[in-house]
Structure 1
């Protein structure tokens, strides 16, 4: 049996599961499928892996109790369904994980929670504390209060963000499709792609095939999430929820995305910056890194007119964009830039100074 005592840090995985993998066609939670997923996660915990579960299903779980035949189109009724379904979902996870002696903690996030500097650091610290205490965090978007303007939009993007927040080793995206295909998997002759080493390998693919209707994501969002995470140095596997045990055990299944970047390993204190004015860590000149940074930010945000005096949040920078920017910057300079520092800085130029006063979110 697992215990809830404080653990040594081990390998970390973020696992995302979609609505269609947890619910019946009528919209209620499917206890057998949820228990099978929990069994696979518990086995991974037994092998010493730290896990964060990003789970869809709150809105879908709330449909049947409210007498709704399908996912509502309007935001207010989606929020109402989420309010009812979220309680059912976490209660079911709590009971199922308890069979293995594993304690879970619910973490509900909106886009605002990770788009502002202080909240970004708070979310990271909460997840770190739960993991240190041996608790398995169950993360979902807070659909009960999220508006169209502050929504992640789907839990694939949220899972990629959480993987960056906790500096995961790998991200596993589970759904009702057993990987990425070179055409609609329902068509004869379509072929599953076993491995992806660069985004160019997927160029020209038709990723518009519809999902089950219960969720909000699709294959395109999974590939975008994989692109974001692999730039952070995180291995990504897209697989069927029915193969969750195989995916978590590292057995061949689904589509494996190889990491293309390097993971940040240094804490804020260890990377607290230069003693020599005008340089950043490693002796690279600040002006040279500023030029690299501006080029990367302009490319990722599609805003060509940026200057060093611009503030990342004020230009509409998002958390996923911050992850991609820092991943590219680390790859270009070898310096362990972190997304929370980008939000903490008053300007893009200040982000490069490694001033300890703007790195408090990393502590």
Structure 2
């Protein structure tokens, strides 16, 4: 496979997030395999010895809890999933700790929920913790906190979490490792699918059909593709490869599919507004306001708002919708919902002085 500037960017990245899927840590029958984890630790250690900082986003907690609890298969109900995660999280982090202890490295565990990333204060605290672990030369093992996450509040899978973490820590590259050796235009197990070595532009995904997750994991190609595009859109190059090829993926990025990043890295605040923060409500705009906000990147004024939905406060993130209800942007609103409802359609000059700020400033607006 020929090299490219994007593969070189992954190969030379000084700060890397490595996401490891459940299937990379289990046998074909679904039993957690510490030996596979140890092999992956060897490849990661080689990358760290070469000079890179590495943060690991590791799936496998629920799978690791199946056997100790005497279960015969992955649970389907939330309570048993959380119980399995509680037991399996101990086994998982102990396995990582034992694997890196061979190299004299200390492991630190960081469990996150969607709420931790969505709320600005918790988001900043998580960033500070991860940065400090790296400064102290500890290996951070990140996972979703499945013991408290619910069906309503969760990342959905660790692929998305890894993309968020990559931006959170300012990583130079994201490497997604699973049982899939790269992106195909269809399921390679069911057809004569075409391998796609590089995604440099949206046109490269024309005709691609991505499937769902495995029996043991929650991701799948659709999840990996979505997460790779999320990270790339934020300015982080991504390599999607098989865990069996981890050595080559981490050494020279000569395997798998590489996703080209946007030329300029998105700021931490804009990334948080667009991808991480939970929207607390919505503002519906008239067509003129949509043109100003999306087309001209101008601040949103109360005069262009036609409806307010939800209960939100100043500083919350809201969806910004066009006349048809489709979301065209997200932004940080300056007023409470009650205040803004009284301002709908009014020109700035007709409002009291304390309400003459934009409803959403251009600096806090991110188009969809």
**TM-score, normalisation: structure 2:** 0.73
Counterpart secondary structure, 1:184:
coil
Please name the residue that 2:221 is paired with. 219
Distance 1:304 1:111, change over 3 A: farther
Counterpart secondary structure, 2:164:
helix
Please name the residue that 1:161 is paired with. 164
Distance 1:352 1:297, change over 3 A: closer
Task: For 1:178-217, list aligned pairs within 5 A.
Answer: 178-208=181-211, 210-217=212-219
Task: For 1:173-322, list aligned pairs within 5 A.
Answer: 173-208=176-211, 210-263=212-265, 291-292=293-294, 313=316, 315=318
Distance 1:306 1:232, change over 3 A: farther
Q: Over aligned residues, Cα RMSD in angstroms? A: 3.5
After TM superposition, the runs of 4+ consecutive aligned structure 1 residues lying more than 4 A away are 264-267, 292-298, 303-307, 309-312, 342-354
Counterpart secondary structure, 2:125:
helix
Counterpart secondary structure, 1:149:
coil
Task: For 1:34-49, list aligned pairs within 5 A.
Answer: 34-49=37-52
The separation in 2 between residues aligned to 1:123 and 1:149, in whole angstroms, is 21
Q: Which runs of 5+ in 1 are unaligned?
A: 1-9, 268-286, 318-324, 327-341, 355-363
Counterpart secondary structure, 2:32:
coil
Structure 1 contact 14–170 (Cα < 8 Å) conserved: yes
The separation in 2 between residues aligned to 1:296 and 1:312, in whole angstroms, is 18
Counterpart secondary structure, 1:150:
coil
Structure 1 contact 117–344 (Cα < 8 Å) conserved: no
Please name the residue that 1:274 is paired with. none
- Aligned residue pair count: 300
Query: CA offsets per residue over residues 169-228 of structure 1, 9 Å max, x none?
Result: 1000000010011121113522211001012311322212x5431100010111111111
Please name the residue that 1:19 is paired with. 22
**TM-score, normalisation: structure 1:** 0.74
Counterpart secondary structure, 1:90:
helix
Counterpart secondary structure, 1:53:
strand
Distance 1:291 1:212, change over 3 A: closer
The separation in 2 between residues aligned to 1:183 and 1:114, in whole angstroms, is 32
Please name the residue that 2:351 is paired with. none
Q: Which runs of 5+ in 2 are unaligned?
A: 1-12, 270-288, 321-328, 337-357
Distance 1:246 1:295, change over 3 A: same
Highest CA radius of gyration, 1 or 2?
2
Distance 1:137 1:158, change over 3 A: same
Identify which of 122, 145, 149 aligns with 2:148. Answer: 145
Offset, 1:260: 1.7
Structure 1 contact 90–106 (Cα < 8 Å) conserved: yes
The separation in 1 between residues aligned to 2:268 and 2:78, in whole angstroms, is 41
